[in-house]
Amino acid sequence: MTDLPDSRPDVSPDVRLGPALGAPAIGTAAPDFELLDQHGTPVRLSSFRGHRAVLGVFFPWAFSGICGGELRALRDDLTSFQNDQVALVTISVDSIFTQRTFADAEGFEFPLLADSWPHGEIARRYGVFDETTGVALRGSFIVDTDGILRWSVVHSLGKARDIQLYREAIASTVTRSTSSAEIDAGADAGAGATTSVG
């Protein structure tokens, strides 16, 4: 299947997210949501708490050139973004039927969530819904295992994200917090230990 080029206007400049966009602030609770994936299975953000961090990737349109390229890059290095430490979810305003067709055509085995009704509600909660075009901007978020937003970036409709940004963000937020938790757990175990000399 041939990708259609993204011919929509580049409606907003590249920005790092902050309160001015209505996005949740780094270090605050990420807005919870439940959306259907391409198979009609509900996926709830809070279901990952205590288990894995989440890389959430909003994209404007299924079957568009830039979106297809971004999602294929994730597919081609999926173990970096979907593993024991982190889960990948992607979100657009497309219907579950469009998401299923897109996933099947491209071999996407990660969740493509449908933010179709109420139209763009989750994108609005994350401050990435573009009211002019009616789609999500290219917003990406990392939510830790406690449900706290740890990292975010948003690009305009016409600018693809480099997945190296995700690798670096995961390394600096997810991997670091996991290592700290393991150190804390080891310290707790050691604190309760007693030594007996006979």
Distance linking the first and last C-alpha atoms of the chain? 75
| Residue 94 falls in the annotated catalytic set | no
> How far apart, in whole angstroms, are the C-alpha atoms of residue 110 and residue 89?
7
User: Which contiguous run of DSSP H or E holds residue 139?
Assistant: strand 138-143
Per-residue confidence (pLDDT) for residue 11, from 0 to 100: 37
Q: pLDDT at position 22, please?
A: 74
Say if strands 86-92 and 53-58 run parallel, antiparallel, or are unpaired: parallel
Residue 23: the pLDDT is: 81
Banded pLDDT at 175 (limits 50, 70, 90): confident
Q: What is the pLDDT of residues 5-47, one digit of tens each?
A: 443 333 344 444 443 357 899 999 999 999 999 999 999 999 9
pLDDT of 140 reads 96
Contact 153, 139 (CB under 8 A): yes
Q: What domains are defined for the chain?
A: 21-186 (3.40.30.10)
pLDDT of residue 176: 67
What torsion, rounded to 10 degrees, do the Cα atoms 114, 156, 103, 77 define?
-130
Residue 193: how many other CB atoms lie within 10 Å: 6
Rounded to the nearest 10°, the torsion over CA 126, 172, 138, 47 is -50
**Which of 43, 45, 55, 67 does the annotation list as catalytic?**
67
pLDDT in tens, 47-96: 999 999 999 999 999 999 999 999 999 999 999 999 999 999 999 999 99
